Copies of this chain bind each other. A is one copy, B any other.
Amino acid sequence: MNEMPDGVSGQAAAVLHAAGVLQAHIESRLAEVGLSLPKLMALRALSQAGESLPLSQLADRLACVKSNITQLVDRLESDGFVTRAADPNDRRSRLAVMTAAGRYAFEKGSMLHDQAEREALGGLDATEVRQLAALLTKLGSHHV
């Protein structure tokens, strides 16, 4: 009473499961420097943009909703990794500005992230990684 009657059934679960394992692994490494994956992504976006961005643009780059960014920046601010500043060009807007501690956390976090990624993908050889990337790209870009 437990067989899978469906052909493709279960592959979504495999993707979701693999992603869960991967994410947990990376997050556990990042926790060493007080970072989470969303925090690291935010710091990366700021770093790439020259250390500061209006919150709305940060939301665009992280592809998430505005209110989420407000709260994420709240947390980063209480961590001491970013500060809020006035936007000289638009008085409605607020800038998220990376601090020295944020810069440091980003550099440490980036190294930990890459290291964790190599560890997690360590079971696959170069060909398999290429195959996986190709399949996932195809899957991820397949808009119904």
User: What residues make up the interface of A, taking CB atoms closer than 8 Å to B?
Assistant: 1-2, 6-9, 11-12, 14-23, 25-26, 48, 113-114, 116-124, 126, 128-129, 131-133, 135-142, 144
Contact = CB atoms under 8 A, between A and B. Distances in A.
Interface of A is mostly: helix
6 contacts: A6-B118, A18-B140, A124-B135, A132-B135, A132-B139, A135-B135
A138 B124 contact: yes
A133 B16 contact: no
Given A2-B48, A6-B114, A18-B19, A11 B133 contact: yes
A138 B121 contact: no
A75 to B, nearest CB: 20
B8 A121 contact: yes
B14 A16 contact: no
B124 A12 contact: no
Given A11-B133, A12-B26, A132-B11, A18 B139 contact: yes
A11 B119 contact: no
Nearest to A139: B18
Given A120-B144, A123-B138, A144-B120, A133 B14 contact: yes
A142 to B, nearest CB: 3
Specify which of A12, A48, A119, A121 lies most central, judged by the most chain B CB atoms within 10 Å of its CB.
A12
B14 A137 contact: yes
